[in-house]
Amino acid sequence: MSVTNSNAKSAVKTSRKAKNAASASNTVLSAVLAQTEEQHVPLSALVKSPQNVRIVPYSTESVRELADSIKGIGLLQNLVVHALPDGLYGVAAGGRRLAAMNLLATENTIHPDWPVRVKVVPDNLATAASLTENGQHLEMHPAEQIAGFRAMAAEGKTPAQTGDLLGYSPRHVQRMLKLAGLAPVILEALAADKITTEHCQALALEDNPDRQVQVYEA
């Protein structure tokens, strides 16, 4: 057998293992959500999860519209949360709904301890839940992709596993992960739509964060 054929077969096996692992992770998340019973948690006990990948703020209009909808017909979809210290729950999926309910609470439309429908998941599935929801509801902002992919990588997932789980190609995940090392001020500019992903890719050619900032501000 030639070295080329051997390497090709090895690559196929590795890709297949990564895909199977990602599918298993997605299956675990779906199974947990399907089997987890809804609970009611006071609104005052809900906070944005540190594992929620949402970076770009929700527009005032979208939160207002959702608040009016909740006021009129109630909360139609549960939030996905995980337990935090001090009796709090971090909202991994449902940040816009949380913002809308908090708006209603400030307007005295609902009580601060209004019971909210939630499903509680383990910490190790919170990031996946957040990424999956943000990807399904709205096109994820590049800055959120970078933060989310980086979080998944920190959990031990390969680009192939992350891509299969969230519907992105491994190459796209790798490309965005290369931008995770950019200086924070540059990633903040990306999140604020002051620069594009293409600009970030050019800046990422420079390894030194200080030099990246110098080039960006030039």
**What ranges do the domains of the chain cover?**
15-181
Nearest of 93, 92, 88, 113 to residue 101 by alpha carbon: 113
- pLDDT computed for residue 1 by the predictor: 45
107 falls in which pLDDT band (50, 70, 90)?
A: very high
Angle at 49 between CA 47 and CA 55, to 5 degrees: 105
Distances (CA, A) of 105 to 67, 97, 99, 147, 150: 10, 12, 10, 30, 34
Residues 6+ apart with CB under 8 A from 150: 177, 180
Examine the pLDDT at 146 and tell me if it is beyond 60: yes
15-181: CATH topology: 3.90.1530
Distances (CA, A) of 65 to 33, 70, 135: 27, 9, 21
How would DSSP label each residue in 20-78? Answer: HHHHHHHHHHHHHHHHSPPEEEEGGGEEE-TT----SPPPHHHHHHHHHHHHHH---S-
Task: Give tens-digit pLDDT for 75-98.
Answer: 888 899 999 988 999 998 888 899
- pLDDT computed for residue 138 by the predictor: 46
- pLDDT computed for residue 24 by the predictor: 46
Q: Quick one: DSSP state of residue 206?
A: S
Report how far residue 101's alpha carbon sits from residue 95's, in angstroms, rounded to the nearest whole number.
10
Residue that wins the pLDDT comparison between 159 and 32: 159
Examine the pLDDT at 215 and tell me if it is beyond 50: yes
Residue that wins the pLDDT comparison between 167 and 99: 99
- pLDDT computed for residue 167 by the predictor: 67
Examine the pLDDT at 154 and tell me if it is beyond 90: no
The residue with tokens 């491994």 is 170
Q: Which amino acid is at 5?
A: N
Nearest of 175, 168, 169 to residue 201 by alpha carbon: 175
